[in-house]
Amino acid sequence: ELKVEQNPLFLSMQEGKNYTIYCNYSTTSDRLYWYRQDPGKSLESLFVLLSNGAVKQEGRLMASLDTKARLSTLHITAAVHDLSATYFCAVDGGTYKYIFGTGTRLKVLA
Amino acid sequence: GAVVSQHPSWVICKSGTSVKIECRSLDFQATTMFWYRQFPKQSLMLMATSNEGSKATYEQGVEKDKFLINHASLTLSTLTVTSAHPEDSSFYICSARDVGGAGYEQYFGPGTRLTVT
């Protein structure tokens, strides 16, 4: 059974600081997705990672995928308050079913 | 492109009644749609996979007689929560897979918040 874990679960950081969120998964998969969720809202797609070594960047966020280590990272550079949200990774568990990570609730303090 | 809508966006119903939630792919065809449930401050849990023209596949622990799924067309799937109880109160999110695209990515709807009183 595919399990997806994220850490940390909660992250409180100062504006301007850097930090990394980790997403570990238990079985082989070549497709991993990152989403942002604001309170009371659905998911906003951030990144689609489709192969080993994939790296994508958008603004202050950068995501990478290491399929051999079964690990993806979401790196935040010079955080700003607007990045406060919950971030989820999701792994394609086969037959296009997504298994979501536990989520990381990020709070950026001004 | 790749827009998914849900209706209603929120609903309040009394215990024992049934409520239907619609999920539509607006600008693409979706042979497969997925239904997720999210409790407050928790992750999304996949409930079932809905396939156009065939029976839904439910995840372990999800009662298929309680959560009825119908996927009658390539753009519409419905989830009916039957005999709802307060513990069914949750945020229900659907997603759809675009058969015309690469096929692997799911596009998520805006969610439906169900409150059972």
Q: How far is CA A76 from the centre of its chain?
A: 10
Which pLDDT value is given to residue A91?
94
Residues of chain B contacting residue A38, judged by C-beta atoms under 8 Å apart: none
How many beta-carbon contacts under 8 Å exist across A and B?
Answer: 46
Say if A3 is an interface residue toward chain B (CB within 8 Å).
Answer: no
Which pLDDT value is given to residue A27?
87
Radius of gyration of chain A (CA): 13
Query: What pLDDT, in 10s, does the model give residues A13-64?
Result: 999 999 999 999 998 888 999 999 999 999 999 999 988 889 999 999 999 9
Nearest by CB: B104 against A31, A42, A45: A31
* Average pLDDT over all residues of chain A: 94
The Cα of B15 is separated from the nearest Cα of chain A by a number of Å equal to 23
- Token pair listed for B78: 């419905």
Confidence of residue A2 (pLDDT cuts 50, 70, 90): confident
Which pLDDT value is given to residue B62?
96
Cα separation, A43 vs B14, in Å, equals: 28
Which pLDDT value is given to residue B49?
94
Give the chain A residue whose CA is nearest to the CA of B110: A42
Nearest by CB: A102 against B43, B97, B110: B43
Q: Look at A42 and B34 and tell me if their CB atoms are within 8 Å.
A: no
DSSP B46-59: EEEEEETTS--EEP
Confidence of residue A106 (pLDDT cuts 50, 70, 90): very high
Which pLDDT value is given to residue A63?
98
Rounded mean pLDDT, A75-85: 97
A residues 25-44 closer than 8 Å to B (CB): 31, 33, 35, 40-43
- Cβ atoms of B79 and B34 within 8 Å: the answer is no
Tens of pLDDT along chain B (117 residues) come to 789 999 999 999 999 999 999 999 999 999 899 999 999 999 999 999 998 888 999 999 999 999 999 998 999 999 999 999 999 999 999 999 987 767 678 999 999 999 999
Residues of chain B contacting residue A1, judged by C-beta atoms under 8 Å apart: none
Which pLDDT value is given to residue A3?
92
Q: Which residue has the tokens 């966020």?
A: A61
